[in-house]
Amino acid sequence: MGGYALTYAELDRDVNRLTAAFLGLGVRPGDRVAIMAENCVEFVVVAFAAMKAGAWFVPLNFRYGPAELAYVLRDITPRVVVAGTGYADAVEAALADPPGVPDRPAVVVLDERDRAGGDRLAYRDLLATDPGAEPVDLAEPGGIATVLYTSGTTGFPKGVLATHDATVRLLPVYAIEGDLRSGDVMLISMPLFHGGGLVIQLFPALAFGATVVLTGRGFSPDGVLRLIERERVTVTLWSPTMLAMILRDTDAARYDTTSLTKIWYGSSPIASTTLARARRAFPRAGFYQWYGTTEATTIAVLRPEDHDTRGDQTGREVFLVDARIVDAQGAEVPVGGTGEVVVSATGTCMAGYHNKPEATAATIRGGWLHTGDLAVRGTEGFFTVIDRISDVIISGGENIYPGEVEEALYSHPAVAEAAVFGVPDEVYGEAVAAAVVLLPGAQATPAELTAHVAERIARYKRPSKLLVLDRLPRNASGKVLKRTLRDDFVTSVKAGSA
**Under 8 Å between Cβ of 412 and 438:** no
Q: What is the pLDDT of residue 314?
A: 95
Question: 455: helix, coil or strand?
Answer: coil
Say whether pLDDT at 29 is over 90: yes
Q: What is the pLDDT of residue 289?
A: 97
Q: At 205, phi and psi to the nearest 5?
A: -60, -45
Q: What domains, with CATH codes, occur in the chain?
A: 8-139 (3.40.50.980), 393-494 (3.30.300.30)
Q: What is the pLDDT of residue 494?
A: 66
Average pLDDT, rounded, for the chain: 92
Distance CA(266)–CA(491), nearest Å, equals: 33
The answer to whether the Cα torsion of 77, 83, 87, 93 is positive or negative is positive
Q: What is the pLDDT of residue 168?
A: 96
**Under 8 Å between Cβ of 341 and 363:** no
Q: Which residues contact 435 (CB under 8 A, 6 or more apart)?
A: 418, 419, 421, 466, 467, 468, 469, 472, 485
CB atoms closer than 10 angstroms to residue 359: 13
Phi-psi map region of 330: left, alpha, beta (phi>0 left; psi -120 to 50 alpha):
left
Q: What is the DSSP string of 365-379?
A: ETTEEEEEEEEEE-S
Q: What is the pLDDT of residue 492?
A: 77
**Under 8 Å between Cβ of 284 and 260:** yes
Q: What is the pLDDT of residue 1?
A: 41
DSSP code of residue 480:
B
Question: 399: helix, coil or strand?
Answer: strand
Strands 159-163 and 352-353: antiparallel
Say whether pLDDT at 498 is over 60: no
Mean pLDDT of 367-393: 93
Percent of the chain with pLDDT over 70: 97
User: pLDDT digit string (tens) for 146-197?
Assistant: 999 987 555 688 999 999 999 999 999 999 999 999 999 999 999 999 999 9
Q: What is the pLDDT of residue 117?
A: 63
Q: What is the pLDDT of residue 271?
A: 81
Q: At 30, phi and psi to the nearest 5?
A: 95, -15
Nearest alpha carbon to residue 209 among 231, 185, 234: 185
User: pLDDT digit string (tens) for 329-338?
Assistant: 999 999 999 9
User: pLDDT digit string (tens) for 449-487?
Assistant: 999 999 999 888 999 999 999 999 987 667 788 889 988
Considering only 285-299, 399-413, 483-497, which range has the smallest mean pLDDT?
483-497
Nearest alpha carbon to residue 36 among 13, 8, 70, 2: 70
Q: How confident is the model at residue 268 (pLDDT cuts 50, 70, 90)?
A: confident
The answer to whether the Cα torsion of 242, 338, 371, 322 is positive or negative is negative
**333 or 129, higher pLDDT:** 333
pTM: 0.88
Q: What is the pLDDT of residue 478?
A: 73
Say whether pLDDT at 320 is over 60: yes
| Three-class SS of 19-41 | HHHHHHCCCCCCCEEEEECCCCH
Q: How confident is the model at residue 356 (pLDDT cuts 50, 70, 90)?
A: very high
Q: Which residues contact 204 (CB under 8 A, 6 or more apart)?
A: 171, 173, 174, 175, 178, 180
Q: Alpha helices, DSSP H only, in 129-180?
A: 164-176
What's the one-letter identity of residue 408? A
- Chain center to CA of 168: 19
